[in-house]
Structure formats: C-alpha cells, structure tokens
Structure 1
Amino acid sequence: MNIDLKSEEDRVNLLPDFIEIREKCLSNSPKNSPNSNYYFNQLIKIWDLNSEILWAQGYWEDYRKYGEIALDCATKLNKRDIEGRILNELGWAQMEQENFDIAQRCFSDSLQVFEEIGDRVGQGQSIRYMGVLHFRRHYFGLALKSYLEAMKMAQDGLKLDPLNQRLLHQESEIHNLLGNFYFRLWNIKASRRELVAGLRGFRTLHKLYVAPTPTSSSTPNSYSYLYFQSAPLLTLGRVAMLSGQYRKAERYFKRCVLLCKRIDRPDTKAGVLFRMAELAKLQGKNKKAEKLAKKAGHFAEKEIPSLQKRTQNFRFQQQGNRRKQFKAVFDKIRMVVTLSIDLLFYAPLVLLQSIGYYTLFIMAKLAAKMRR
C-alpha cells in the first residue's frame, strides 16, 4: 500500500492502522513476549519512517498524534530508551506549536528517563532541547547554560569515542545553536565562528555516514545531514545581512533555498524566503519584499505559527499599519527586557558584551551615514 504523507487524507487514514498495531502490541501478555516485541518493533519502525517525513514537512499536529501512540506503547512496555527519545521528539513538536509548558514537561521527563538508564548522549539531547526552549521563551541566560552543559557532555564523550555519530551530531547542533545565540546578541564574530563549525560538522557527518549522492535506493534518511545544513546557511546569510554584506547574504540565502528544494524542507524554505524579504527591504526593493513575505507566509500558514506572526508583522509594516507596528515594537521591547533580566542573572558578562557589540554596531551605522 503506497501512502503519501503529504496528503492530509492519507495521514488521517493511516491513523487507525497505527492504533490497531498498538492494540496488538499491548494485548499480547506478558510484557516483552515475542509477539509483544514483534508488534512493538513494527510500530516503532512505522513511527521512525513516517515521523521523519512529518517532521521535515512541519506537520506537527499529525506528528504529535502518532508520537503519542508510540510513546504510550513504549511506556507501558518499559522500553525506556525509546520512551526518552519520543518524549524529546514530542516536546519539540509542542515547542513548534508554541505549547511551551507542555514542551518543558516532555523535555524534563525525557531527561529523567535518560538519567535513570545512564544514557549520557540522551541526557545531552534533552538538555540541548531545553536550551532551545529557553531561547524561544527569551530566557537567554538559561539557554546559554543549557547549550554549554550539553556541549561539554558531547565533547567529553568524543574524547573517548571520536567517531561516535550521535555525539558528533550533538556537537554540530550545539555549534549551530550557539551561532544563532551570539547572532541575537550582536556578537557577529562569535556567531560566524560557531555557524561555520556547525556547517562543517554536518558536512563531515554527511560524508562519513550518508551516501554522498542520491541513488535509486535512496530513502529520506539519505538526506538527513543535508537537512541539518540548511539552518546554519540561513543564519550565515543573516549574519552577512546584518554586517551590510548584502551580496554575500543573497548568496547564502540562495544556497539555502536550493538545498531546501532538494531535500523538500518547507519550514526552513519559509524562513529563508522571509529573510530574503527583509534583505529586499533593506535594498529598497519594496515590491519584491512584499512578494517574498507573502510567499513565506503561505508556506508558514498552517504549521509554523511563530514565523506566520513575523511575516504578518513585516507585511503590516510594509503597508503602514500603525496599530500593528506599535504592537510589534512593544513585543520587541518586552522581549529585550526579558532576555536582559535573564542574562543579568545567569550570564552577566555576556550581557555586557552584547551591549558593547550593539553600541559598536550603531556607531558603525552612524559613521556610514555620515560618509554618504
């Protein structure tokens, strides 16, 4: 039976079959009997294959439904490692839907599971995901603390096992996250350094563990490390744009768009289209900016609420909607206050550095205007 998960009808029709396998899995007693394990392995195999597509396409609501079924089965059969992994995966899906409290519970529960079974790599992943959650909530001090803790765990593990795929992946992910973190605090040099390290890490992983070119037998898995390369490319474009290197920014954005088309990743494609709209606005190409923002909003409309809000605010600014402009400014001020207070408590030196970098940035902008 061929199933196209891009079709809403097929995603809905697959659900009863998934539930039926769970029932077969749980109805075979005692736990961990051959029949029970057989159906559980089938369930997780289907979950792993389908969840990758649902994740890549940003179908978070469907992702959550199937994930909760797989989690229920793993929990009742005491498959702790898989329980911890799925808790992290579901937490991320909830975070993408901006259900932050639920996401935090998932990550905390996952961390507890991995601590109980002694899985250090799993613990690092849970801590890293918690860091992303703190970052999304603008608790930058807590985010940095989580990133650095997860990085230390990954690097300590790599000293003992230098080619461990999970640890190399963890290290590359954290470089990318730190690059985004420093970018938001105006530390362009540190941001670029971390992003380049992350991109290099994902390219190395792609060479070591994945067929370098598509073949007739390729699966979505064959593109997994290409998938992760799109995020640092996007942020490197933003770094170049902030630095006033518009042509360089455009090159990064175009490379990101081409990669997103190749691997069919709509979430990052929507993000890069939005950043291209910002770039067009900076270049004075307002009609192009409006067109790109509208296109980005179309991609983000159903599955990426946070980006949808940003594209709406951008278009309101383009259209001169004063009320919406005021709300967008108020939201930014509130964000800056929140992250400043958090950094003051957890990373005061980083806060001082970011103030310094921002001051230098403003002075450079003023100097450039005076020369014109």
Structure 2
Amino acid sequence: MAQKPVTIQNSDPLIYFHGRWDASPGTWWAGSGFKLNVKNLESLTLNLGPHTTAPFASIGVSLDYGEFITANISQGSNPIPILVSSNERPDTHTTVVRVNVEGWQNNRINLESVTLNPGASLVPYIPSKLAFQFVGDSLSAGQFLPKGVDQAWPFLVGEAFKAEHVVVAQPGAALSDIVSFGNEHGVSFQFFRTEDTGYFYTTDHNFTTPWNFARDEPAATHVVIHIGANDSAQNVTDVQFVQVYTEFIARLRTIYRHQPIFVFTPWGWPNPDGTVSQYFEGQYQKIVDLRHASGDKSVFLVDTTGWVSYADVFPENVHPNIPGHQHIADKFQAWLENWGLKPESRWATPV
C-alpha cells in the first residue's frame, strides 16, 4: 500500500515559530515566520487560510541555511520547490527549512498546516543561543529592496552571526506614539503589540493585542535600535525625542533586564555632493548618558557616522540599496566583534 503524504497541523510543537504571530495563527511584521527540521524531505506544501494577504504574500524560503529564495503564496495549497531528494541522501538526513514573510506590508500568511512527502517526519529544531531583537523603521525593514527584509542589514547581521533574529520595524513610523506617514501609532506603542502598524487598515483584524514576550524563545540576547528619522520628519523636538527614547528603553528593561541594548546614531541622508543631512545630532549620546546616569551601563552607543554614502542609497528615496545594506551589516558586524561578540561557529541545528 502506498504511503500517504504527512500533514503537520499548525499546532504541532515541532514547528518553531519566530517573530510575531496572532492566534489564527497569522504573521505580522517583516521577517516573521517559522522553521522546520525535516527528516527525509522530498516535497513541502504550505496550506494557508483566509487571513493570508490577497492576491499573495511574498515569502523567503531557505534550505539548510542557503540563500533565501522568494516564493509568492496565497490562500490554499502552495507547493514549495525543494531541490533535495532522499534518494540522494541517507534516510537519517534532515533538512532545515526556514520560511519568513519578506515585506513590511502585504505580509500576512495564515498557516493552517504543512504537507510533507510520504515518509517524511519532523524532528526538533534547535534555536541558536544567540538571538537579536532589532527595532526600527524603513531603514531596518528593507523597504524598496527586491527581497524586502531578507536583504536588509538587520537580517544580514543575524545570518552572519548564525543567530535567531526578529525585526520589529515599520516604514514611516516614528518612535513617538504619533500618527506618521499612515501609521496610526509609533513604535514606542506598537513594539509591545502583536500586530504591526498596518493593523489599522486590515478589515479582518483592525485591533491590537499585547505581545506575550514569553513566546520569544530564546529571549533576545542583544537588542538593537535604529530609529528617529520619522520623528524628525514630524517635527518632534530634541527634548521630546530624548524623553520618549529614554522612556522606551526603560520599558524595554522590564523585558530585557540585563541584555545589552545598542543605540544607533543616524547615518543620515547622503547627498550627491558628498554631504550628509543629519537629524537629532548629539541627542543619541544624551539618551545613552541618561541611562548610564541611572545606573544602566549595558546601553551602548553605535556611532554610524560615515557608514553610508550616496553610492549606498537609492537616489530617488535615499534609502540604502542592496550593496548599502550589506555595507551597513559588515560595519556593524565588525563593530560587534570589536565590542566582544563573536559569531557562532556553526548553526545550532546541524544539517
């Protein structure tokens, strides 16, 4: 008798979810997704429910830590190309499958189940002991990049360190809890919610729910913040910005009690003549100094001055281009290594 395909329900504890998922379960925020460790993998189909973005959502799929390849998926059954075969490998071989939504909008996948080939089975995925939590806006979310967040500097840094990484970043959003470029709330509010700021326009889910940080497994070991461009654009004053940023870090400390927090200065907006337009100059140092004065010595300033030139950005919107994001990732990796953090020597789940 022929074996039947294997169906994995969304409640299976061997699915390793990362990022922000609601109860449906459905994704919010760029980069949210899941990981599978599959024995004897030959085929994979994602079965998605009605909360999936129509007409499709773009996802990145990586096998055995290889390059993320884009697939456009929609409600219903979605076969995912798999370029491995158990006929070519021993039955004991496992394949790590990583899936995440690429976009900062139109990024909802409502996972109902996963169908695997007959004879396949899930085994535990072991997460890295190193985990980054990135916080930001369009400069971190991968806006304007062909593969979205998968080509953005936070994602690249996470990959370089062989770490788990979650990116909570929304284009147009200020840190201050104000309306900004279509965002009803700022990141100082939205970071603590399951939903990204796009919830406001989503008819089937136009509300927010608190995020349960206990669901982040492992909890972030390092927190990285790069934000402020949209506060500046909305005429938030230096004094107001320092206050909201300082209060935000204080609230983060109720969750990340001892983890290092890295505060990026802006790299600014490069101009064709080689000059760089800046915002909130000197204020990020004040924020860090205030935390130090309060006794919190685990907040560190990352001075990004000179990291981004005009060649590193798209001329039409002055956001980093693909080489620009790689350049930023390389700079920050070097900064972190000099600070004392080294990449993991291997991924925690072997292949």
TM-score normalised by length of structure 2: 0.35
TM-score normalised by length of structure 1: 0.33
Tell me which structure has the larger Cα radius of gyration: 1
Q: Which has the higher contact order (CA 8 A, sep 6+)?
A: 2
The structure carrying a bigger strand percent of its residues is: 2
